[in-house]
Amino acid sequence: MALLDSHVLMGIVRLIFLSALFVGTIVSSESQCRNFESIISFGDSIADTGNLLGLSDRNNLPMSAFPPYGETFFHHPTGRFSDGHLIIDFIAEFLGLPYVPPYFGSKNENFEKGVNFAVASATALESSFLEERGYHCPHNISLGVQLKIFKESLPNLCGLPSDCRDMIRNALILMGEIGANDYNFPFFESRPFDEVKELVPFVISNISSAITELIGMGGRTFLVPGGFPIGCSVAYLTLYQTSNMEEYDPLTGCLKWPNKFGEYHSEQLQVELKRLRKLNPHVNIIYADYYNASLSLGQEPAKYRFINGTLSACCGVGKPYNFSFSQSCGSVGVESCNNPSKYVAWDGIHMTEAAHKLMADGLLKGPYATPPFNWSCLSSKIKNKNSLENTILFDE
C-alpha cells in the first residue's frame, strides 16, 4: 500500500481535529444551554416562597404572614420575606415559568413547572450538629431534611422513576442561598469570629453533598449562590455598631470584618464547585455571586436610584438603622417606608423587591454568574418577552 502524501496526511489530521472540536463544541453547548422546563429550589428565606408559612401553626405565624410584607407586587402577604418578588421569582419570570410554589402547606398544587423546598431559618447543617455546639436552631428543616423530603415526594411530583429523572434533568436546580443561618445564629449570639469560621468547611461539605446526590438523581444544571456581604446587613450594623470608624468601609459604610467572613465562605464554596465540575464535566454548575451583586448596590446607590445604599431598613423601627431585634417588620406599630424601591434593605435582614430585581438581572444577564448562562436556546417568545420588559424598564 502506497504511503499517503504528507500534505494529504496533514489535511486528514486537520479535518479530524476540527471535527472533534466541532463535536466537542456542540456537546459543551448542549450541556450549558438548556430550555428549562421547571425550577427545583432548596434553601432559606432568600428563596422561601411560602414554606415557613405553610409549616407554621396559626398561633405562631412568621412575620412574613403580616402586612406590609408582599405589599409592592402581590398586595398581600404571601410568606415571602420581602415587599414583593424574590430573586427566584424573577428567574421564573425570565424563563417564562410560573412562580415556584412552596411544597409545604400547598393544597392541590401543580408542581409540573417547579417546586420549592426552601424554608426561612433553614441551615445547611443539621440542627443537631449546631445544637451540640451550643447554637440555638429554631427549626429542624436543614438542607439535608429538604432533600430527604424531596426524594420522598417524587412519586407524587412526577410518577415513574424514569419520568422523575427527566424532570430533574430538565430543571434549573437552585441550591440556596443556604448557609447564612448557620453563621447568623452564632453571630447573633456574639460568638467569636474564629469560632464561627470553623463551621465553614462543614457548611460547604453539606452543600457539596446535596449537589452530588442530585447529580446522581439526574440533575444537570445547578445555580449555587455564595454568601452575602453581611457587614452591609442592617441587622449586623445594628448589633455590632461601634464608634471606631476604622471598623467601617468608608465607601459603603459596611462593617469590614463580617464582609471578610462573607468573602471567605464564598471563596471556599467556589473552590469546592470547581472540584465538582472536574468530577462531573457533563454537569453545568453555575456559581451565583450574591456577594458582589449585593455589594454593588451599596457601592453605587445613586446609579440604581437608592436613597441610602444599604444602611437603613425600609420597614422597621429604631436608630440609627431603622431596625430592632425586638420590634421586627410585621409587628404591630412597625411601619414601612412610602417607597420601598428606593431602599436596598427591606426589614433589616432581607432585601426589597427592587434589590432582588437588580441581583437577578446581574445573575441572568451578567456579570455575576460563573460560568455565565447561555440563553441562545431560549424560545423566541421568551426572548422577545424579556426584550420588551427591558425596553419598558429603561424607558421609565
Which residues have a catalytic role annotated?
45, 347, 350
> Quick one: cell of 112?
409540573
Place of cell 504511503: 3
Q: Comparing C-alpha atoms, which of 353, 352, 341 is closest to residue 396? A: 341
Orientation of helix 180-187 relative to helix 256-279, angle to 10°: 150
Residue 119 exposed, middle or buried by CB count within 10 Å (0-12, 13-18, 19+): buried
| DSSP percent split of the chain into helix, strand, coil, nearest 5 | 45, 10, 45
Residue 21 exposed, middle or buried by CB count within 10 Å (0-12, 13-18, 19+): exposed
Q: Comparing C-alpha atoms, which of 349, 318, 316 is closest to residue 335? A: 316
The Cα–Cα gap between 373 and 7 comes to 41
For 221, list phi and psi in degrees, rounded to 5. -135, 120
Residue 294: partners with Cβ closer than 8 Å, 6 or more residues away = 228, 229, 232, 310, 344, 351, 355, 359
CA distances 197 to 129, 140, 258, 311, 336, Å, are 15, 22, 11, 25, 34
